[in-house]
Amino acid sequence: MLVQQRTIKKPISLSGVGLHTGTSCKMTFRPAAENYGIRFRRVDIGGMPEVPADVDHVIDTSRGTTIAVGEAKIHTVEHVLAAVAGLQIDNIIIDLDSFEPPILDGSAKLYVEALLTSGIETQHAPKDYLVIDSTVHYQNDKMGVDIVALPSNDYRLSVMIDYNNPALGSQHSGLFDLEKEFISEFAMCRTFCFLNEVETLHKQGLIKGGNVDNAIVIVDRDYSPKELEQLGKKFGLSHSIFLGTTGVLNNGSLLFKNEPARHKLLDMIGDLALIGVPLKAQILAARPGHANNIEFAKKIRKLYQQKKIIKKYQYEKKEGVVFDINALHRILPHRYPFLLIDKVVDFQLNEKIVAIKNVSINENYFQGHFPGSPIMPGVLIIEGMAQAGGVLLLDGSTDQQSKLVYFLGINNAKFRKTVIPGDQLRFEVTMVNRKQKICVLRGEAYVGSELVAEAEMMASLMDRPKI
């Protein structure tokens, strides 16, 4: 796979109507600097607000993926993003003078052709790949959706669809080499729907720009000539529509026997581009759709943010260690004799942390607590939990070294067993709630499998006072 970032060489524009809103839109692809990422820009709004193409800005997934910053919305971004990601472009500005990109022929083909006409330019900065090194599984039992990311040295996708509809049945498709297969096998695959969905979608205010030229309409029941005539009038079609004999409205034909499955794979490439970083993974998806693609993308993006944080503080990768003592010195302000965790062995962004404290007879507090019967003070066990919680507050959005964590409250503290020299404390702290600068944590301390202490803590992340 490519190792350097890419952008395009010169601006290039396309115009048309949006699939769902039916509004006219001129869209212009523009080159962008290294590490800029993929961003849409609404040039029709004052200040020309930018909307980063990532899952943090997704606001709707009904029959398409919509992203927004404030009032600046962009509907149905998946085909445009599929073209950008399929050509492995990392940095680009996408200007729009309305709120939905033109649907064109219902695929990503014309976007790809425009980008290739502009030309691809290799930049100096390296690509920031997210390498999946362990299985990530997303499941939605209610909808029968399973999506799995497996370790791989390349980016591969396999998709299976099953609509329990005899007009389509089950289909599957796979992409195994993005560079060799995307343009020739997937970019031209068009969006589709069933004929019995059309009226419902129209009543929902969708597919206002849809027609038989930019979508495959699969015939899934018989319609009388009068029903077809009424359907045509509702959509303001100047030409007649008919069932035909191919299974596609107006005797349309498929580019591939499994074109619907290939289009679902195309959609998935676009939705997964919202992770915000190129992947090295094998993706297996059963019955994917925009809503579930985005939930899976959120899970992967969170993993990316977590890995990015770990890499920032832990310079050397160590088996079984997330943050060693050197990393903790970079994260926490505490020093001897008050740094009460030795390493972090598990870190789940904004969810949970597990930290270890080896209790030694050399701890200075044992001199007075108590002579001849050394017991670790319960308040220091709580402090150790709190320090682990301070590490859990890492989210990549702030410079931790410029912050201090202050206690606001401790509730329901219980001490169930004494901790003595030679014990190894394991602090397990979970995030209960987080709102802006205030967070609520639940901490538990174990020696082996035995719970020795627990507490609920409220804390605030504040700027460190300047001295």
Q: What is the spatial distance between Cα 19 and Cα 214, in angstroms, rounded to a whole number?
A: 8
290 is catalytic: yes
Q: What angle do CA 392, 131, 325 make, to 5 degrees?
A: 35
pLDDT (0 to 100) of residue 238: 52
Q: Parallel, antiparallel, or unpaired for β 279-286 and 130-131?
A: parallel
d(CA 296, CA 286): 12
Backbone angles phi, psi at 369, to 5 degrees: -135, 80
38-61 as b/e, with b when 16 or more CB fall inside 10 Å?
bbbbbeeeeeeeebbbbbebbebb
- pLDDT at residue 237, as a whole number: 57
What does the DSSP 8-state code read for residue 185?
Answer: I
DSSP 442: E
Task: Indicate the burial class of 181 (C-beta count within 10 angstroms; 0-12, 13-18, 19 or more).
Answer: middle
What is the reported pLDDT for 235?
Answer: 59
- Rounded to 5 degrees, φ, ψ at 346 are -150, 135
Asked if 407 and 458 touch (Cβ cutoff 8 Å), the reply is yes
Pairing mode of beta strands 66-69, 343-348:
unpaired
Q: Indicate which residue of 20, 202, 290, 334 is catalytic.
A: 290
Which DSSP string do the residues of 380-402 spell out, in sequence order? HHHHHHHHHHHHHT--SSS-GGG
What is the pLDDT at residue 236?
55
Let me know if 369 is a catalytic residue: yes
Q: What six digits make up the tokens of 46?
A: 């004052």
The SS3 assignment for 113 reads helix
| Alpha-carbon span 243 to 223, nearest angstrom | 8
Burial (0-12, 13-18, 19+ Cβ within 10 Å), 370:
exposed
pTM above 0.85, yes or no: yes
Contact 279, 88 (CB under 8 A): no
Residue from 369, 372, 376 nearest 422 by CA: 376
3-state secondary structure of 314: coil
Q: How many angstroms separate the CA atoms of 347 and 435, rounded?
A: 20
Q: What was the pLDDT predicted at 398?
A: 64
**Tokens describing residue 279:** 């992947």
What does each of the 467 residues of the chain score in pLDDT, given as a tens digit? 679 999 999 999 999 999 888 899 999 999 999 999 999 999 999 999 999 999 999 999 988 999 999 999 999 999 999 999 999 999 999 999 999 999 999 999 999 999 999 999 999 999 999 999 999 999 999 999 999 999 999 999 999 999 877 778 899 999 999 999 999 999 999 999 888 877 777 777 777 777 777 888 888 878 888 877 777 766 555 566 777 778 888 878 899 999 999 999 999 999 999 999 999 999 999 999 999 999 999 999 999 999 999 999 999 999 999 999 999 999 999 999 999 999 999 999 999 999 999 999 999 999 999 999 999 999 999 999 999 999 999 887 666 667 788 989 999 999 999 999 999 999 999 999 998 779 999 999 999 999 999 999 999 888 888 76
Which pair of tokens denotes residue 130? 């997210």
Amino acid symbol at 117 = T
Q: What was the pLDDT predicted at 4?
A: 97
Q: How is residue 41 written in tokens?
A: 């820009």
Domains and CATH numbers, the chain: 4-124 (3.30.230.20), 136-219+252-306 (3.30.1700.10), 314-463 (3.10.129.10)
Query: What CA dihedral angle connects 35, 40, 43 and 46, to 10 degrees?
Result: -80
